[in-house]
Chain A
Amino acid sequence: MPALMGLENLTQYLPSWVAPTPAFCQIVTGMLVILVMLHVILGGCAYGIMLERKLSAWMQDRVGPNRVGPAGLLQPIADGLKFIMKEEYTPRGADKVLFMIAPTLIMIPAMISFAIVPWGGTLELSQLPFGLAKMLGVEGITVRLAGAVVNVGMIYLLAVASLGVYGVALGGWASNSKFSFLGGLRASAQMISYEIPMGLALLCVVLTAGTLDPYAIIEAQSHGNGMWNLLQHPVAAVLFYTCMLAESNRAPFDLAEAESELVGGYHTEYSSMRFAMFFLAEYFHMITGAAFFSVLFLGGWSLNPFGGSLDLPMQGGLPIVLAQVGVMLGKVTFMVAFAMAIRWTLPRFRFDQLMKLAWEGMIPTALVMLLITAVFTYLGWASSIWAGSLLCVAVMYLVGPMLPHQKNPNHRIGMIGSRFSPLVEGTGSVSSHPVAMSDAAIPDRRQGLQSIH
C-alpha cells in the first residue's frame, strides 16, 4: 500500500540500484562535496583576484578597486563579463587547434586536483538533523567529507600537478610569437624543475605518516597523535611552499610572465576568455596548493599545533563537521593571502637564479632531508623528526660552501664612459686603464669643468 506509506520509508520509491550502502553514501557525499567546493573555489578565484588587488593597494598605500558596487565588491563580476564580451583573437600563423586547446589543457588539471582534498572529517549520518538518517535508511553509516576517497591521494596530487605544464608549453608554442615561445619554454623548465623538490618534500611527510591517504595524514597530526608537520618537518614545509608558488607561476617565480622582459609570457597573444582561463588556473592552483599545504603541514582542521588532546574531534555530527570545514577554509584563506603578500614583497628572480635555487639548493636539501627522515624512521625516532630538520639545516650549512657553484654571471662590463672605464679628462676618449672593479666612489668628472669657470 504505497499510498499509506509515510516519510519514514522514502527509500522504497528509489530505484533498486540505489541501496544505502556505505560505498554508495560515500560516492553521493563525494559528489555533493565536489559540487559545493567547485563553486566555492570558483567564487574564491574571482574574489581572490579582488583580494589581491585590494591587498596590493593596501601594501602600496592606494585605495584599490572601489567603484563597481558597494566598496568595489562587484568588481569580479564586471571583470568576468568583460572577459566574455571581448574578441577571441588568434594571431596569424598560430596553430589554431593547439592555440584553442592550450587554455583548456591548463584549466582542466587545475580544476580536478582539488577532488581528493578532505575538507572536513568523518560525518556520522545518524546524527543528521530532522531524523533524516532514519528516513533515508543510512543509520550507522559514516562518510568522509572529501570529493573522492582514494588511498593514493598524494600520488594523484603529483600526477595532476605535472599535467599543467602541457597547457603552458603548448600555449607558448602555438602562439607564433617570440615572447610567448620564450615564456612557454621558461615556464616549462621552471615547472618541471620545481616538481622534484616538491615530490621529495612530500615524500618526507609520507615517510613519517606511513600513508598516502590525505585523511590519514591529517589524523596523524591531530587529536593527540602528533604535532603539526609544520613543526615536525619545517624544512619540508618551506620546500613544499616554495615549490607550490613556483608551480602556480606566482611571484617571485613569475618568470614566465615577467612583464618587464617578456610582456605576458606564454599568454601574450591570448585574449578574452582564453586569457581568463590562464588567469583562473593560476588562482585555482594557488587555492588547491594552499589546501594541500593545510592538509600536509597545518593539520587540516586541527586547531592544536602541538598535538594535545584538546582539539576538534575527527568524527561527529553536522555542527562538528561544519566547524572543521570552517577551520580548513580559514587556513586556506590565510595561506592564499600569505602568497599574495609574498608577491608584493619580494622582487622577481632572474632565470639563472631560479634554476640555481631549484637544482643546486632545493634538490640537495630535499635529498638530505629524505635521507635523514629515512634513517630516523629506521631508528624509530619518527616522533622527534624535527631534530632531523635541524640536522638537515646544519648539514646544508656545512656542505653548502663545498658544492660546485656557478659564478655570478652579472659581470661588470666595462661600458664606455661608465664609472668603471671613465672618460680621460679633456680628450673625450676612453681611458685605457679601467678603474678596478670596486665599489669605490664615482670619480668626479666635473672638476675639470670647474677650473674653466
Chain B
Amino acid sequence: MQLLAASAIDAYLPIGIVFVMAVIFAIVNIVASQLLGPRADGAVKGTPYESGMDPIGSARKKFNIRFYVLAMTFLVFDVEIIFLYPWAVTFTQLEPRSPEALLFLGRILFFIGTSVVAYIYAWRKGVFRWD
C-alpha cells in the first residue's frame, strides 16, 4: 500500500488549509453582520443585562478559590495523560508476558501511582467538594 509517510510535514498541509478556512469563516461572519446590522445606542441599552436591575459594580469580581485549585489539579492529570499516550503505543508492540513488558507495566503503574497519591490528597483536602 503506497501511503504518505506519516511523519512528513506535508501531511499537515490540509490541517493548515482548514485552519485558514475556519479563520476566514469567522472573520467574514463578524464583518458581515457589522456591515448589515443596524446600529443604535442608548443609556439603558448599553448596560449589562441583570434581569432589569441596575448593575452594581463591575462584574469582574474575585471568584471562588475552588476554580483555581481545580484548574491546578486538572493540569497534573492532563500532563500525565499526554505522557501515557506514547507509552500506550509502545507497550502494545511488546511481546505479552515478556520481562520487558512487565518492566514497562511496572514503570507506568509507578507513574500513575504518583498521580493517584496527589489525587487522593486533593480529594481528602476537599478540592472536589462544591457544597
Contacts and interface: CB of A to CB of B under 8 A. Distances in A.
A268 B14 CA distance: 35
Interface string B1-34: 1111111101111110111011101110110111
B19 A112 contact: yes
B97 A144 contact: no
Point out which of B89, B109, B127 has the most chain A C-beta atoms below 10 A from its C-beta: B89
Interface residues of B, number: 79
B10 A269 contact: no
Interface in B31-71: 32-34, 36-40, 45-51, 55, 58-61, 63, 67, 70-71
Contacts of B1: 122, 142
A431 interface: no
Contacts of A175: 48, 59
Contacts of B61: 178, 181
A231 interface: no
Contacts, number: 253
Contact of B25 (A33, A111, A158, A378): A111
Contacts of A360: 123, 128
Interface string A109-129: 001100110000010000000
B37 A272 contact: yes
Interface residues of A, number: 100
A308 interface: no
A390 interface: no
A199 B6 contact: no
B17 A34 contact: yes
Contacts of A382: 92
Contact of B123 (A100, A155, A404): A404
Contacts of A379: 96-97
B46 to A, nearest CB: 4
A240 interface: no
A133 to B, nearest CB: 14
Contacts of A176: 48, 58-60
B17 A84 contact: no
B118 interface: no
A230 B22 CA distance: 32
B48 A406 contact: no
Contacts of B108: 374
B10 A27 contact: yes
Interface of A: 22-23, 26-27, 30-31, 33-34, 38, 83-89, 91-94, 100, 103-104, 107-108, 111-112, 115-116, 122, 140-142, 144, 147-151, 154-156, 158, 162, 173, 175-181, 185, 188-189, 192-193, 195-196, 199-200, 203, 206-213, 263, 268-269, 272-274, 276-277, 351-352, 355-356, 359-360, 363, 367, 370-371, 374-375, 377-380, 382, 404, 406-409
Instruction: State the 9 A-B residue pairs at the shortest beta-carbon distance, nearest first.
Output: A409-B131, A380-B96, A210-B92, A352-B130, A273-B33, A151-B6, A177-B48, A111-B22, A104-B26
13 contacts: A23-B5, A83-B33, A84-B29, A86-B38, A150-B6, A178-B50, A192-B78, A193-B74, A274-B30, A352-B131, A360-B123, A371-B109, A379-B97
